[in-house]
Copies of this chain bind each other. A is one copy, B any other.
């Protein structure tokens, strides 16, 4: 029985791309999960050096694809070459970063409490703790980062680093990209003599494949980047299993930006231009796109609004990833535009030369209207943003209290302005409860892959606020601690023996 097939579409031209990729049927899904489970014992027992080398090889193999990969990504996503090359560098850099994380061994979380046989009233046993992987991980690739959040993106890299086999549900918007990268990973699996089930890519549309993966008893954790609806349905399916599993879903964020009076006064127009550059990056198809701007009334606010309006009005249309995403973007923008109290400030020019084009859009409203219509804080995925004129500090506080959990919150302030400083000092403790990352005098787009990054945040930005999907801490999502009490040295896992790499000095 065949489950159908799917093809990529070039959003620049609307052309359906060859070849077609077969959609995974039940047997294939079952086989991938069975192989992943079979591989788990062997894969998690690989030494840290082998596992690190495997991750490095994946990066090498992806680079070796050269322009074949870059061209395919461009064709399937409409993203420009520089962005695709940059994302490839981020992806391979991320794999190599996790290789170094694996080698370092600190992620094992080794803790050793030596026995105290003479302690009274009771002796203390020898206790050693390390982290072990949860089991095979299902990774749901995102549409908007066809490399960095896709087949060999951050979820896959961190799960493989943790010792977990991975079954990827490819995003249907870039199947050819997924096949190329998947093949690179499979070659690395073979090169290092790892079990076949260490890694698999499956193609499919909609919820069926996803639900099957999340409810398969051999899948033990889920990484997801996508819409709130999609994430919540996976969370519900995972919670309803006989044995629930964690779902690390990064879902939606409007990334509020707060413009304080001193900053507006000093450089309102400059901020308007910089904001527009952030907003239009990747046609706004970023989870960190600044969808809401709260600007306190005062000198410079009009200059900000004027400059941003001019810049957005002149910003060219760009291909969006799929017609579905473009249609949702247009519908969201129309809902905002037609809300009483909201003014459309600017809309970029049409471009009939692009088949699936997104035009940047900018809206303006006041605090009252914003607080009245809670849907105005819903994510409109694409280059649309709403500027909210805020009368005073009280209104600003009410707005901060009304906001849902976010990936980021950004503050612009004049460093030497006492008023801005006092405002910021009061806001920061609120913003750190609201978001996973707080930015001062910058923009939320551009997510550094490093040890201190947090790409996460309170619900509904993510389903697991204590975690990050970017940066070295992402590995922790796929691990849990185990304590070993009085286990003889000959039977102890190697990581826990006296003097092992990763064990405390």
Binding site for B on A (CB under 8 A): 41, 45, 86, 111-113, 121-122, 124-125, 127-129, 132, 134-135, 239, 243-244, 246, 404-405, 415, 421, 424-425, 428-429, 432-433, 435-442, 446, 448, 450-454, 456, 458-460, 463, 465-468, 473, 476, 479-488, 490-491, 493
A466–B485 contact, CB under 8 A?
no
Q: Which residue of B lies closest to A478 (CB)?
A: B466
Q: Which residue of B lies closest to A464 (CB)?
A: B246
Distance (whole angstroms) from the CB of A397 to the closest CB of chain B: 13
A448–B484 contact, CB under 8 A?
no
B86–A121 contact, CB under 8 A?
yes
Chain B residues near A456 (CB-CB < 8 A): 480-481
What are the 10 A-B residue pairs with the smallest beta carbon separation, nearest first?
A: A454-B483, A129-B452, A127-B452, A111-B452, A466-B480, A437-B483, A439-B485, A113-B452, A113-B450, A440-B487
What are 19 inter-chain pairs, A to B, with CB distance below 8 A? A111-B451, A124-B450, A125-B448, A127-B453, A128-B452, A129-B451, A134-B465, A135-B433, A424-B491, A425-B491, A436-B483, A438-B482, A439-B486, A440-B484, A440-B486, A454-B481, A454-B482, A465-B480, A466-B480
Which of B41, B438, B460, B466 interacts with A483 by CB under 8 Å?
Answer: B438
Chain B residues near A491 (CB-CB < 8 A): 421, 424-425, 428, 440
A479–B466 contact, CB under 8 A?
yes
Distance (whole angstroms) from the CB of A257 to the closest CB of chain B: 13
A459–B243 contact, CB under 8 A?
yes
Q: How far is the CA of A484 from the CA of B113 in the complex (A)?
A: 34
Distance (whole angstroms) from the CB of A90 to the closest CB of chain B: 10
Chain B residues near A135 (CB-CB < 8 A): 433
Q: How far is the CA of A57 from the CA of B121 in the complex (A)?
A: 24
Q: How far is the CA of A448 from the CA of B115 in the complex (A)?
A: 11
The answer to whether A129 and B454 touch (CB under 8 A), given A421-B491, A429-B45, A482-B437, is yes
Which of A128, A129, A435, A482: most chain B Cβ within 10 A?
A: A482
Chain B residues near A428 (CB-CB < 8 A): 487, 491, 493
Chain B residues near A468 (CB-CB < 8 A): 481
Q: How far is the CA of A113 from the CA of B453 in the complex (A)?
A: 9
B481–A473 contact, CB under 8 A?
yes
Q: How far is the CA of A442 from the CA of B487 in the complex (A)?
A: 10
Given contacts A127-B450, A127-B452, A132-B432, 12 further A-B contacts (CB under 8 A): A41-B429, A125-B442, A129-B473, A134-B465, A246-B466, A415-B488, A425-B491, A436-B481, A436-B483, A438-B487, A440-B487, A454-B481
Q: How far is the CA of A92 from the CA of B98 in the complex (A)?
A: 41
A490–B243 contact, CB under 8 A?
no
Chain B residues near A127 (CB-CB < 8 A): 448, 450, 452-453
Chain B residues near A439 (CB-CB < 8 A): 125, 485-486
Q: How far is the CA of A440 from the CA of B460 in the complex (A)?
A: 43
